[in-house]
A and B are shown apart, each in its own frame.
Chain A
């Protein structure tokens, strides 16, 4: 299949990583609910937490909060903290009220938060108890999206990993694609693989509880997102085999990802080329338009989503950028290895964060573009650094061929805007 040329100096897989500990300017895993609930149409996410958790969801969900979303927070009150037995009764009552009001709900996730973890409210037991009480119509699952355990996209990982043990057993040889992607992206991936003769294809998460994929020793799975470490482990525990591949960003990444899957299913070379030739050419063309702006520019990634390393690989190899530092909240060497192999040595790789020290490094390096969260973006802009806010990369369709140009454009736009604005006097 199409072998990608590794960089001249070898990849980054075995290079040392900078680990610092201090203030981390990141979201907690609860944020994952915002996109997960759109993807799972019959699921409801009930956070058991504090007013802070509710306020976070509201701030992160923006206007979505008004569209009858399928998530809410059961806010702990002082009486809940006084005695634990009481909290369980309260939870049962709130869940019963919620399910009575929303009979369309088939899966209910009890999502743990920092307060519920610290007071050791046993949500796993609560999920079992409530599953029994509301069977067979509703299944109640539990995972933690707390800040003390999860960072941003890790919330999706925790959610999917909680679903894996409950998936039906199967001996069928099926391809399971893992990670919540926008529908349009999911359809394109399915189409490309179907055209190569790969199948049957199942997705985790499935849009509805009834479509839940089976898992077993003949299941092979490929991750579409890099942040799925626990789900990866849970699937392997069920006997499934993982296809290692770089993540499908850009023309190269998508081709390498598809090639890894095609190899697993014995797709002949000419068939693979026939299916991918046209979309590859389109992707290359679309990327090259944005690459004109990006070529030769330097980029600095603050940690956010774990997408940083594959994105740095795409931007350096396909758009001609130079990476200064690539920060990630968590680095899973096995999963991200194929991307590290393709990333040329040079940038500092950092895992975790001490935000003030990292800001000092960014200010010293003065990168042309800084990828960071919304708490840092405007302050850095006012210091004269161009920024690209990272959360958009999780909500916008960016994977696979047809989105490759859009992905590059997301990074080119702040630079083009900076060049376009002329606010000083004309003289």
Chain B
């Protein structure tokens, strides 16, 4: 399911003295089956853009096409449910949305709202808990007895349980420890690889962008200032610095090595790529 933005602008509280800019003239397409990363410094419009993906916000001007539904300023709030089922959204600090008495019920909440029978939904919950890497015992526990990281996983399981075809992630690993972060990102990547899930990821972790994304959107002050593959985006370190963004660790390392006389082509984005290009240059055996 493609999601297309056509000259989308959005103003918060339009027509009041509190009006604020959100998006300005954004045109782009998020292709079916892609792994898109949205980067940009705080307040650049990333989260505003995200909320257009399942019509939580409607554009002040322009149109958003989600699958075959066209969302404009005049779109009625009714009948948006099918879109919300297709586009699952994991918000920042998603653990804040938990409220049911047991984890199982909380995970089943989304699917039940979309018409899945309660029993079937709770059965599904068990599979989801396993998918996000939690032991089956948590199913009957209260979500409020879990640790912050476990709550985050439950919340994510609750979104995955709706079986969306597009998964929107707003800094899903913020505040998690390094191991939890890696596990989480690997899980999303597996879903992307195995089930062809379209993923839209908002992140400040350039390493994640380099490791997983195949398409990058760079936002600045509500505008989409650049889009392309991670390699294209990370090619120009000075341009990124101008937009208050950095390089992935590997690219930064490669850049420092270039200053020492090493040569890299193309720009390595992952540790493996860096090692591959570096080994022949320092006279080591070819990496396999």
Same complex for A and B? Answer: no
Residues on B close to A: CB < 8 A?
Answer: none
Residues on A close to B: CB < 8 A?
Answer: none
